[in-house]
Amino acid sequence: MSSIPVTWFEIGSDRPDEVQGFYAELFGWTFEEQGGPQGSYRQTTGGGERGIGGAIRGLDGTAPNYAIFYAEVADVAESCRRAEAAGGKVLLPLRTAPSGLTLAHLLDPSGNRIGVFTPPPAG
């Protein structure tokens, strides 16, 4: 059994208000605006103790809408290398947020986008 958990999801939308309302009505999720240098980022802990957390990222209409899940890994660079060796591609190269969180986006061989990340160091 793998020890790599899926711990986060993100939904990118050019209509974040509408999407937030949809998930609020469908599942009862609440969201908190986190903002950031790239615009709206609304986090939810809708998964509670049994599920995963996630967010809606507001898009400006120039990028396509998307939904992605993130697996929490020990080494993002190694995961990128392994993805390419297994026939995938690195779509968004490794980057580190100001908080210390490291992430990358990958494409599986059939074109599905997935994310990998390492949380910021504890401290």
Domain ranges of the chain: 6-118
Give pLDDT, residue 1. Answer: 53
Spatial contact of 99 and 120, defined as CB atoms under 8 Å apart: yes
- 6-118, which class in CATH? alpha beta
Instruction: Answer yes or no: is pLDDT of 17 > 80.
Output: yes
The residue ranking higher by pLDDT, 85 or 48, is: 85
Residue 44 and residue 93: Cα distance in Å, rounded? 26
Q: What is the mean pLDDT of residues 82-96?
A: 94
Name, in order, each residue with C-beta under 8 angstroms of 28's C-beta and a sequence gap of 6 or more. Answer: 46
Q: Using 50, 70 and 90 to split pLDDT, how confident is the model at 2?
A: low
Q: Which of 72, 44, 64 is nearest to 56 (CA)?
A: 44
Per DSSP, the three-state class of 111 is: coil
Residue 5 pLDDT > 60: yes
Range 64-92 average pLDDT: 93
Task: Supply the DSSP string of 92-108, one letter for each residue.
Answer: EEEEE-TTS-EEEEEE-
Q: What is the mean pLDDT of the chain?
A: 88
